[in-house]
Chains A and B, each alone.
Chain A
Amino acid sequence: MKSRLLGWFQPAVVQKHRRSTSRRVLSLGVSVFVVVLAAVAIGATDGSAKSRTAAAELPREQTLFVGRTGGPLVPNGNPLSPSAVTDAGLRQSVFEQLFYYNWVNGKVKGWLAKSFKYNANFTQLTVDLRSGAKWNDGHAFTAADVSYTFNLLLTTPTLANAGTVQTTVASVAAPSSTRVVFSFKKPDRRFVGNVLAGYIGTGVTIVPKHIFEGQNAATFTFWDIDKGWPFGTGPYRIAAQDSIRATFNRNPTWWAAKTKLHRLPAPKYLVYETVTPDVEAQSLVTNRLDLSSGNINGLGTWRSIRDDNKLLGTWSKNGFVDPCPISLNINTKAAPWNNAEMRWALNYAIDKKRWSNLFNQTAAYNTGYVFPDYPKLAGVLDANKALFAKYPVTSYSLAKSSALLTKNGYRKSGSKWVGSDGKPLTVNLKMFSPTVAAAWGVGRDAMTQMLETAGFTVNSQALDFGGLATALSTGNFDALGWFECGSIAEPWQTLYRWRNDDLAPIGTRNPTPNAVRWDNARYTEIVNQMALLPGNSPKAKALTTEAMGLFLKELPVVELTQAAKTIIFSTKYWKNWPTIKNAYFQPQPQLYSFQQVLISIVPSPKR
């Protein structure tokens, strides 16, 4: 061995020539190539990337391709796992919800459940299931599955939604195979919408009792494609998955088709594929994708690609308004921002319209209130015009900002505001880094520049998701960019975020969404009263006006923009996409409710 190696590398004058170098290199290269390909073929077929059925390239005209931009797809099919991937087809096509929440009309649509009824004081809820619903392994879907799932959540705090369920639910019972009775710890008239209907990203997904029983639900991954896991009651079954793509086959024995609740969905195959924004845009131009993730780089990208492919469309020219407006949280426990006038001075210094346009890469808008601009909520703005005139929250006025700062003892030193002690008036500003979304890079720069122009000294910090979430929950900020997910059809859910229950001191994680730690007893009293009222009652409307008056006066949170999401679809292969003119459901492919879109699209004649 040694002599051969020595011979190979010694000068040729002392070595016998046997084979040419090129032949050796070629044979070595071919050997390595074959070995490596064999290794990847053998290695990659182990574990998560198996398939039972998929063996040939999918026929394009029978396949729906959907883009996504989230993290890696992993072998975890347990829908109760908080870190399970929720935006890549499993929740949209394999599992189904008891109800689906329609953001457009603000109503819940029964699916696995057909109806619900609260008792008079909203301490008990009775849900009746559809008969004939089946799991995709043939077992009947019954009230025992629902009861079992909720009892798991009551006893296992590490499961998704366990906190909400444990706060609300006292017990769950299944008196018959199609009836479930929930008993609440306190009255809750919105349990169906918030917990059973997949509200925004919430919603408890029911798991099959006959599979989960005897497993540790906190660590059970429900993943073995050879055994048909994971399965749900949905119109598709998982066929294959690697870290970037999940493929599903239509389930010909879907219970809803058998019971004539709905026809089988038109696409025979469904593919969710992880893409970068650039690849997503080009894939839409070339009809490689049928639907974008909704995280595509704003309306600017849509406007730049729509002329390249006339078959592309979107919800409306302004995109689809996300349910979570983007806001600036101002810490009410951090001096001097614990003074409402100082918060207003900060608000006046921000040109919200300009910030919104820069962030969204186009002419976007802000409404001044921290609710999404949805039809059912528009009435709140209209009914409170006098309030918004009194508190002009959308105004940009450096003069008003200066007046408030002067009133509070600040003076200008050069171009900067300083306090009576001569120290600069500093804002510790925290926002997402551009790695979370490119728009945040622009957003943070614009915000910093605006506040610096107004004379504030800004310590600006860009953080990743975990860093910003930690800063938010522990109150380690003066001003922080975040999202306000809450209301869809009535103002209560968003207003309820800022009640003063269990406020934690700065440095400790706050248990409620009131990250700004705004402490207003009357406000909390009002939103607690509203919890028991129907959103459209005169009493609730009056309380809304009073709560919003208190909120606007003290302004702990500033709305920066309505977040326009551009969900782009192609009509090359599929049509009947939801649009503002055909608004049968919200269009986002990452929501549980996309199941309703999936079963409604039809083949396009343009294919």
Chain B
Amino acid sequence: MTIRYVIGRVGFFFAIVWVIATLNFIIPRLAPGDPIEDTLGRLEVAGQSTEGADAMIAQYKAQLGLDESLFQQYIHYLGSVLTLDLGFSAALFPVKVTTLIGAALPWSIALLTISTLIAFVLGSLFGALLAWPRTPRFGRVLLAPFLLFSAVPYYLLAIMLSFLVAFKLNLLPPTGGTSAGITPAFTAESILDMAKHAILPALSIILAAIGFWMLGMRGMMITTVGSDHVLLAEAKGLRSGTLFWRHGVRTAILPQLTALTLALGEVVSGAVLVEVIFGYPGVGSLFYQAIRSNDYPLIQGISIVLAISIGLAILVLDLVYPLIDPRISYRRR
């Protein structure tokens, strides 16, 4: 790996962030309505008089920079992206975008990192077992239904789990990040309570994602099982477990790691519908509300965090991949 290569990849990272930031600026402005009218409409429906609101609208537009030309707004917006000062939320003024995202981010990172890793480990293992010739028949029968879950949207699983586990069986709480009265803290009680509230949202994500990882791993494992190094190892009389783990799984898992890195890059965006259904206080719920209320600054803030996160994941992957797989090289030959 050369310095030129590293600079190229870092440049590519900034290019990705810039393109996404630009799209992110344009797309919400193409939608009908604006956040100030939205707020006024809600005030009116709540029974408030919005008469004489012209001065209010003018001041709000000035405070949010919406009275400037689109080009000026764009330049200010790029400046705010560079400094990570994302300004005020339009629909929740005067709360700052960074305050809102900062409060929601830990919840989504916790939920999605853990559920993505669990789904990855189980899905890859089950996929490898499905392709492994010595897996017993009953094992294959038991594992196959997980492939079906990949065809079920995760929000549908979420609704079913909520109804069955939370309400009918009353085993786990149906909503929230904690129980009422428990606040997040680094104590055993609080962590256990948070874990209890994360089980159902996590389960719906894990069940829906396992099939995806299984399919990928099964395909790679089938190719690996027929390769020369596995045949050689088998001819040497190695134990079945050694063959499976050290010669099969370890070789087949490389492409899965690429997908895992990208999936981990997306954890900051939250799982929108699952978080809404389970009332989970993460970025997904926040994003949903931001879109509903045309809150440009908040939509832009969340999207930028997501773009940076995915861009960083790709950058890390690009830089690390030649190290973990010597067959891969970006050097020109």
A interface with B by C-beta (< 8 Å): 1-2, 5-6, 8-13, 17, 20-22, 25, 29, 32-33, 36-51, 54-58, 63, 65, 71-72, 74-76, 78, 81-83, 86, 157-164, 166-167, 194, 199-202, 218-221, 240, 242-245, 247, 269, 271, 273-276, 278-279, 282-283, 285-286, 288, 323-324, 435, 463-473, 483, 485, 509, 511-513
Known: A75-B99, A469-B40. A83 touches B92 (CB 8 A): yes
- Structural contact, B167 and A285, CB atoms closer than 8 A: yes
Contact of A247 with B181 at beta-carbon distance under 8 Å, contacts A17-B246, A324-B47 already known: yes
Nearest residue (CB) in A for B243 is A12
Are A164 and B33 touching (Cβ within 8 A)? no
* A12-B247 contact, Cβ under 8 Å, with A71-B293, A74-B100, A279-B279: yes
**Chain B positions within 8 Å of A75 at CB level:** 95, 99, 103
A240 to B193, CA, bound (A): 16
Task: Look across to chain B and name the residue whose beta carbon is closest to the beta carbon of A504.
Answer: B54
The SS class assigned to the B binding surface is helix
Q: A9–B250 contact, CB under 8 A? A: yes
**Chain A residues within 8 Å of B180, by CB:** 54, 57-58, 63, 65, 245, 247, 269, 271, 273
| Residue from B33, B91, B94, B277 within 8 A of A279 (CB atoms) | B277
Known contacts A273-B175, A324-B47; is A81 also within 8 Å of B93 by CB? yes
Contact of B131 with A by CB under 8 A = no
**Residue contact B177 to A44, C-beta cutoff 8 Å:** yes
Q: Is the CB of A83 within 8 A of B93?
A: yes
Instruction: Decide if B176 is an interface residue (CB 8 Å cutoff).
Output: yes
A472 to B37, CA, bound (A): 10
Binds A, one of B75-83, B107-115, B211-219: B107-115
Contact between B292 and A464 (Cβ–Cβ < 8 Å)? Answer: yes
Residue of B nearest to A278 (CB): B159
CB distance from A152 to the nearest CB of B (A): 14
B263 close to chain A: CB less than 8 A: no
> Would you call B222 an interface residue if the criterion is a C-beta within 8 Å of the partner chain's C-beta atoms?
no
Contact (Cβ within 8 A) A467 B174: no
The 6 A-B pairs of least Cβ separation, nearest first, read A200-B47, A469-B41, A163-B52, A201-B46, A466-B38, A43-B106
B256 contacts chain A at the CB level, 8 A cutoff: no
* Contact residue among B39, B189, B254 (Cβ-Cβ distance under 8 Å from A83): B39
4 other A-B residue contacts (CB within 8 Å) besides A12-B246, A202-B48, A469-B41: A1-B323, A164-B48, A244-B280, A470-B37
Contact of B48 among A47, A63, A161 (CB under 8 A): A161
Query: A282 and B163: CB pair below 8 A?
Result: yes
With a cutoff of 8 Å between Cβ atoms, the chain A residues found around residue B103 in the complex are: 44, 46-49, 75, 242-243
- Cβ-defined contact, B109 with A39, below 8 A: yes
Return the chain A residue nearest B93 by Cβ.
A83
Q: Would B279 and A273 count as touching, CB distance under 8 A?
A: yes
Query: Are A464 and B33 also in contact (CB < 8 A) when A37-B191, A82-B56, A163-B55 are?
Result: yes
Nearest chain B residue, comparing its CB with the CB of A86: B46
Q: In the complex, what residue of chain B is closest to A476 when comparing beta carbons? A: B32
Tell me if B42 and A274 are in contact (CB < 8 A).
Answer: no
Contact present for B285 and A219 (CB under 8 Å): no
Check B175 against A157 for contact (C-beta < 8 Å): no
Interface hits, B178-207 → A, CB 8 Å: 178-187, 189-191, 193-195
Residues of A within 8 A of B114 (CB): 32-33, 36
Mark B28-44 against chain A: 1 for CB-CB distance below 8 A, else 0.
Answer: 00011111011111111
B186 contacts across to A, CB distance below 8 A: 38, 41-42, 45
Closest Cβ of chain A to B122, distance in Å, is: 11
Chain B, residue nearest A281 (CB): B167
Cα separation A181 to B152 with both chains bound (whole Å): 65
Q: Is there contact, CB below 8 Å, between B56 and A162?
A: yes
Can you sample 12 A-B contacts with CB below 8 Å?
A9-B325, A13-B232, A21-B250, A36-B113, A41-B185, A58-B179, A72-B286, A74-B89, A158-B63, A220-B94, A243-B286, A469-B42
CA distance A38 to B113 in the complex (A): 13
Q: Report chain B residues within 8 Å CB of A45.
A: 183-186
Nearest chain B residue, comparing its CB with the CB of A76: B95
The smallest beta-carbon distance between A298 and chain B, in angstroms, is 17
CA distance A36 to B194 in the complex (A): 12
Query: Contacts of A323 on B, CB cut-off 8 Å?
Result: 47
Within 8 A of A (CB), among B284-303: 285-286, 289, 292-294
Chain B, Cβ-Cβ closest to A590: B46
CB distance from B219 to the nearest CB of A (A): 19
Q: Which residues of B contact A72 (CB under 8 A)?
A: 92, 100, 281, 285-286, 289
Alpha-carbon distance A492/B1, docked complex (angstroms): 78
Contact in complex: A469, B279 (CB < 8 Å): no
Q: A431 to nearest B CB, angstroms?
A: 13
Whole-angstrom distance between the Cβ of B115 and the nearest chain A Cβ: 10
Residues of A within 8 A of B246 (CB): 11-12, 17, 21
By the criterion CB–CB under 8 Å, are B94 and A32 in contact?
no
**Is the pair B181, A54 in contact by a Cβ cutoff of 8 Å?**
yes
Given A41-B186, A72-B92, A244-B281, also A164-B181 (CB < 8 A): no
Interface residue? B72 (CB, 8 A)? no
Q: Is the CB of B92 within 8 A of A465?
A: no
Min CB distance, B191 to chain A, in Å?
Answer: 5
Q: Which of B40, B183, B254 contacts A240 (CB 8 A)?
A: B183
Distance of A323 Cα from B95 Cα, bound (Å):
31
Cβ contact of B175, chosen from A29, A81, A275, cutoff 8 A: A275
Q: Please report the C-alpha to C-alpha distance between residue A287 and residue B69 in the assembled complex, in whole angstroms.
A: 53
Once the chains bind, are A244 and B102 in contact (CB under 8 Å)?
no
Residue from the set B58, B89, B106, B185 with the largest chain A CB neighbour count within 10 Å? B106
Chain A residues closer than 8 Å to B232, beta-carbon distance? 13
Per-residue contact bits, chain B 301-316, to A (CB 8 Å; 1 contact, 0 not): 0000000000000000
Establish whether residues A467 and B92, one from each chain, have CB atoms under 8 Å apart when the complex forms.
no
**Bound complex: CA A464 to CA B51 (Å):** 22
Q: How long is the Cα–Cα vector from A435 to B31 in the complex, in angstroms?
A: 15
Whether a CB of chain A sits under 8 angstroms from the CB of B121 is yes
Q: Which residues of B contact A50 (CB under 8 A)?
A: 183
User: Are B194 and A37 touching (Cβ within 8 A)?
Assistant: yes
Q: B105 contacts the other chain (Cβ, under 8 Å)? A: yes
The minimal Cβ–Cβ distance linking A589 to chain B, given in whole angstroms, is 14
Q: Of B42, B163, B190, B254, which one neighbours A465 at CB under 8 angstroms?
A: B42
Q: How far is the CB of A429 from chain B (nearest CB, A)?
A: 15
Q: A282-B174, A466-B293 are in contact. Are A56 and B181 (CB under 8 A)?
A: yes
Instruction: Please give, as numbers and ranges, the residues of chain B lying within 8 Å of A166 by CB-CB distance.
Output: 52, 55
Q: Are B48 and A32 in contact (CB under 8 A)?
A: no
**Docked-complex contact A58 and B181, CB < 8 angstroms:** yes
Give the residues in chain A near B178, CB-CB below 8 Å. Answer: 242
Interface residues of B in 220-276 (CB under 8 A from A): 229, 232-233, 242, 245-247, 249-251, 254, 276
B323 neighbours in A (Cβ, 8 Å): 1-2, 5-6
B47 adjacent to A201 (CB under 8 Å): yes
| Distance between A449 CB and nearest chain B CB, rounded to angstroms | 24
In the bound complex, residues from chain A placing their C-beta under 8 Å from that of B135 are none
**Is B324 part of the binding interface, using a Cβ–Cβ cutoff of 8 Å?**
yes
Known: A54-B183, A469-B37, A470-B34. A164 touches B91 (CB 8 A): no
Encode B45-67 as 1/0 by CB contact (under 8 A) with A. 11111111111111110010000
- Complex: how many Å from CA A39 to CA B94? 27
Do A21 and B245 touch across chains, with their CB atoms under 8 A apart?
A: yes
Inter-chain CA distance A2–B183, complex, in Å, is 43
Q: Which of A40, A54, A513 contacts B109 (CB 8 A)?
A: A40
Once bound together, how far apart are the Cα atoms of A285 and B246, in whole Å? 53
Q: Closest chain B residue to A274 by CB distance?
A: B279
* Residues in A whose Cβ lies below 8 Å from that of B56: 82, 157-159, 162-163
Give CA–CA (A46, B102) in the complex, Å.
9
> Is there a chain A Cβ closer than 8 Å to B117's Cβ?
yes
- Minimum distance in angstroms from B172 CB to a CB of chain A: 12
Is A161 a contact of B32 with CB atoms below 8 Å?
no
User: Is B162's CB under 8 angstroms from A279's CB?
Assistant: yes
